[in-house]
A and B are shown apart, each in its own frame.
Chain A
Amino acid sequence: NAGVTQTPKFRVLKTGQSMTLLCAQDMNHEYMYWYRQDPGMGLRLIHYSVGEGTTAKGEVPDGYNVSRLKKQNFLLGLESAAPSQTSVYFCASSQSQGSREQFFGPGTRLTVL
Chain B
Amino acid sequence: SQQGEEDPQALSIQEGENATMNCSYKTSINNLQWYRQNSGRGLVHLILIRSNEREKHSGRLRVTLDTSKKSSSLLITASRAADTASYFCATDPGSYGQNFVFGPGTRLSVLP
Contact = CB atoms under 8 A, between A and B. Distances in A.
Interface of A: 4, 33, 35, 40-45, 48, 50, 56, 58, 90, 92, 99-107
Contacts of B44: 104
Q: Which of B88, B90, B100 has the most CB of A within 10 A?
A: B100
Given A42-B88, A43-B88, A102 B100 contact: yes
B102 interface: yes
A106 B41 CA distance: 5
Interface residues of B, number: 25
Across the A-B interface, give the 4 residue pairs with the lowest CB-CB distance, nearest first: A104-B42, A42-B104, A43-B102, A42-B102
Interface in B3-37: 4, 9, 31, 33, 35
Best-buried of B4, B9, B102, B103 by chain A (most CB within 10 Å): B102
Contacts, number: 53
A45 B99 contact: yes
Contacts of A42: 2, 4, 88, 102-105
A106 B97 contact: no
Nearest to B107: A40
Given A90-B42, A90-B43, A92-B43, 6 more contacts: A40-B104, A42-B2, A99-B92, A100-B94, A101-B45, A106-B41
Contact of A101 (B2, B33, B97, B105): B33
Contacts of A41: 104
